[in-house]
Amino acid sequence: MAEISKDTQAEKKVKNRSSKKPGLGLWKRLKKNKLAMAGLFIVSIIFIVALFAPLISPYDPDKQDVTIRLLKIGSPGHILGTDEYGRDLLSRVIYGARISLLVGFCSVAFGLIFGVILGLVSGYYSKLDSIIMRIVDILLAFPGVLLALAIVSALGPGIINVIIAIGIWSVPTVARVVRSTVLYIKELDYVTAARALGDTDFNIIFREILPNCISPIIVYATMRLATAILSAATLSFLGLGAQPPMAEWGAMASTGRNFIYQAPHLTLIPGAAIIIVVFGFNSLGDGLRDALDPNLKNNL
pTM of the predicted model, to two decimals? Answer: 0.82
242 within a domain of the structure (yes/no) = yes
Which range in 5-9, 13-17, 206-210 is most confidently predicted, on average pLDDT?
Answer: 206-210
Give pLDDT, residue 213.
86
Q: What percent of the chain stands above pLDDT 70?
A: 89
Strand intervals (E) in the chain = none
Is the model's pLDDT at 214 over the cut of 60? Answer: yes
15 falls within a domain: no
What's the mean per-residue pLDDT of the chain? 85
Could you tell me the residue range of the domain that residue 114 belongs to? Answer: 26-299
Least confident of 33-37, 141-145, 240-244, 277-281: 141-145
- pLDDT of 143: 79
Q: Is 11 domain-assigned?
A: no
Whether residue 55 lies inside any domain: the answer is: yes
User: Is residue 5 a part of any domain in this protein?
Assistant: no
**CA of 156: how far to CAs of 9, 150, 166, in Å?**
54, 10, 14
Q: Is 4 a member of any domain?
A: no
Per the document, the length of the chain is: 300
- Evaluate whether residue 39 is within a structural domain: yes
Cβ atoms of 231 and 145 closer than 8 Å: yes
> Span 216-231, mean pLDDT?
90
239: left (phi over 0), alpha (psi -120 to 50) or beta: left
As for how many domains the chain has, the answer is 1
- CATH number for the domain harbouring residue 103: 1.10.3720.10
Residues in Cβ contact with 128 at an 8 Å cutoff, skipping those fewer than 6 apart: 121, 122
pLDDT tens track for 142-158: 877 788 888 888 888 88
Q: What is the mean pLDDT of residues 239-265?
A: 89
Residue 9 or 187, more confident: 187
Which pLDDT does position 121 carry in this prediction?
93
